[in-house]
Structure 1
């Protein structure tokens, strides 16, 4: 065998691990984050066209009650994850999919896990810190309001879908309000806190799970303080309005056009 061929083959064998390390993984990736000494599963979607030579927008997605668990996967099956699987090219962003345990909500530890996962992903990948977006559906819509109220300068835009701000249901478990009780009327206090954050609210007209009045009141309160808010109420649509929302070219284009104001 030609000595040059042997040398070339040996060189390629030596370089292979380095070349492999330089090629970033893409698609849905399994990750874990530690909060208060406990490890939590989450997923991150990395665009197939990802390259570390540019900074990418980030979306933090909060799932609904039906996707609670600890498998680290179910939260990608409904809502934004399903939309990405259908047409990933429409979402040129790194997307973080935390998961909350059964019988919990996007408050307390699950809220901390969501933020911790977002921060971990922001360290692992090249992200644009001025284009970090927060969206969620149903109980995740409530989580959008909860997190945004506590981190009003962190997100460039919000998309709460069929979410709620106040408790509208009887519950045996304590409900952690979006707005602390000593802050005044909840919708008005929410609007004051988020008056500078671009927000697109979506709700189904005949939602039988979360009253549409929750989103109507939030939109009205935000409009009253001059906030950059858009409200889409889908006529004849019930609770699963998220497919129409994430399938809307207008909403997706609007989202990626938003940048955090300094």
Structure 2
């Protein structure tokens, strides 16, 4: 096995935790009726065989593409009985429950790791993958041939050892998954850049004595350092308070790609409670695999006319596509929907003078398909708005680098403006180039 030196320093910690996890109490056996609806199978790849259980909707329509949920169990459910990994906790049955299937029909696949096996080897090398996970990836490929699975809506969830496996699976194959739901786990934060394009809904108990809560927290922080904004249900940068149901619903309605649910008074085994969380299922099934680099920023080749009213313009070949425009005045801590359902060809006026003075403003664009799912997103560099303290509105760009991509002049390849340059009046042009569901790209011009 090839081992990354940076990640190897964590190996003793993870090894010790796996021994602890074997002793965790695993009660709460689930309804046998739902368990019995999972077909018992096995899959072999490269000489390694794993048993797995498969749930397929009884009303399966071969002409319809179905989402797929991959579940990775914890260390206590390892073995060869091909049952306890779906009967001990609700990790698999929650997605196959009749009510859940009525609202979101999906295929559910639940492999079982052998005794002594693991979902994550923590090598830090994209080319070094454990037999359990490699066989699971091959299993997903074979199921995609057997069933009409939507390749843009493959989701992965795991608890404890399986939560580590969620991070490792996304690390090894980030383009495979539309969303990830790890619980009571974590990963090395230096791996965050490889995972940054996949939406995460993270759960952890603050009193967890088996897997320290800080492992999840450190991963969420690493994602935030890459430009994501987390929705917290417990603590955020401005203090600690529990979100009400209405507040959480409102936050999830902003289509966040990072949610962190911490359980302040709970320990390691939070999983059945977590899978019953408010808004989880709607969030998961709203996720669509993003088109890589579908929206790209470049600096303007010249200045626009100076005016208070700025305009977003775009065209797209697919008439069913639409655009959402979002605005945050506080570096992405909160978002407001400026406009939704905008036609694929048109324009929208964004008036900087209509907003209160803003210390860290961000504009975010989301491309929405006819099915209502988001397939591309990107946001502007942060900017300040000062609408009148000096009598002249000022917009100041704060940073010209986002997600390691410098904003440059497409004509010359040079940075158009220096860091933090003040642009007088209200306008500066940024150009977006955005992928389209049915064709290569659409063009948009944003002036602010």
TM-score range, shorter chain: 0.7 to 0.9
Higher relative contact order (CA 8 A, sep 6+): 1
Q: Which ranges of structure 2 fall in alignment gaps of 5 or more residues?
A: 1-35, 121-129, 229-256, 292-448
In structure 2, how many angstroms separate the alpha carbons of the residues matched to 1:82 and 1:96?
10
Question: Where does residue 67 of structure 1 map in the other structure?
Answer: 77
SS at match of 1:80: coil
Question: Where does residue 171 of structure 1 map in the other structure?
Answer: none
The answer on 1:36 being equivalent to 2:71 is no
In structure 1, how many angstroms separate the alpha carbons of the residues matched to 2:76 and 2:98?
23
Question: Where does residue 98 of structure 1 map in the other structure?
Answer: 111
Worse-matched range after superposition: 39-48 or 57-66 = 39-48
For residues 67-89 of structure 1, give each alpha carbon's deviation from its aligned partner in whole angstroms, at most 9, with x where no partner exists. 0001222211123224246x333
Question: Where does residue 191 of structure 1 map in the other structure?
Answer: 192
Question: Where does residue 165 of structure 2 map in the other structure?
Answer: 143
Worse-matched range after superposition: 194-203 or 110-119 = 110-119
Aligned-residue CA RMSD in angstroms? 1.7
Question: Where does residue 212 of structure 1 map in the other structure?
Answer: 213
SS at match of 1:230: strand
Question: Where does residue 131 of structure 1 map in the other structure?
Answer: 153
In structure 2, how many angstroms separate the alpha carbons of the residues matched to 1:117 and 1:71?
18
* TM-score normalised over the length of structure 1: 0.77
Larger radius of gyration: 2
The answer on 1:46 being equivalent to 2:47 is no
8 A contact 2:95–2:106 mirrored in 1: no
8 A contact 2:184–2:211 mirrored in 1: yes
The answer on 1:153 being equivalent to 2:175 is yes
SS at match of 2:38: strand
In structure 1, how many angstroms separate the alpha carbons of the residues matched to 2:67 and 2:112?
21
Shift of 1:197: 0.9
Which residue of 52, 60, 65 corresponds with 1:55? 65
SS at match of 2:64: coil
Equivalent residues in 2 for 1:79-90, closer than 5 Å: 79-84=90-95, 87-90=97-100
When residues 249 and 120 of structure 1 are mapped into structure 2, their CA distance, relative to the original with a 3 A threshold, is farther
The answer on 1:234 being equivalent to 2:263 is yes
In structure 2, how many angstroms separate the alpha carbons of the residues matched to 1:97 and 1:192?
28
SS at match of 2:288: coil
Shift of 1:153: 1.1
8 A contact 1:144–1:158 mirrored in 2: yes
Shift of 1:48: 2.9
8 A contact 2:49–2:135 mirrored in 1: no
For residues 191-221 of structure 1, give each alpha carbon's deviation from its aligned partner in whole angstroms, at most 9, with x where no partner exists. 2111111111111121121110111111111
When residues 221 and 75 of structure 1 are mapped into structure 2, their CA distance, relative to the original with a 3 A threshold, is same
SS at match of 1:52: coil
In structure 1, how many angstroms separate the alpha carbons of the residues matched to 2:277 and 2:57?
19
SS at match of 1:114: helix
User: Which is helix-richer, 1 or 2?
Assistant: 1
Shift of 1:40: 2.5
8 A contact 2:95–2:108 mirrored in 1: no
Shift of 1:150: 0.7
Which residue of 246, 250, 253 corresponds with 2:282? 253
Shift of 1:122: 1.6
For residues 47-79 of structure 1, give each alpha carbon's deviation from its aligned partner in whole angstroms, at most 9, with x where no partner exists. 233221211000111000010001222211123
8 A contact 1:136–1:143 mirrored in 2: yes
In structure 2, how many angstroms separate the alpha carbons of the residues matched to 1:79 and 1:217?
27
For residues 106-133 of structure 1, give each alpha carbon's deviation from its aligned partner in whole angstroms, at most 9, with x where no partner exists. 1411111211222222221111000001
The answer on 1:118 being equivalent to 2:140 is yes
SS at match of 2:267: coil
In structure 2, how many angstroms separate the alpha carbons of the residues matched to 1:116 and 1:72?
18
When residues 153 and 216 of structure 1 are mapped into structure 2, their CA distance, relative to the original with a 3 A threshold, is same
Number of aligned positions between the proteins: 215
In structure 2, how many angstroms separate the alpha carbons of the residues matched to 1:93 and 1:257?
13
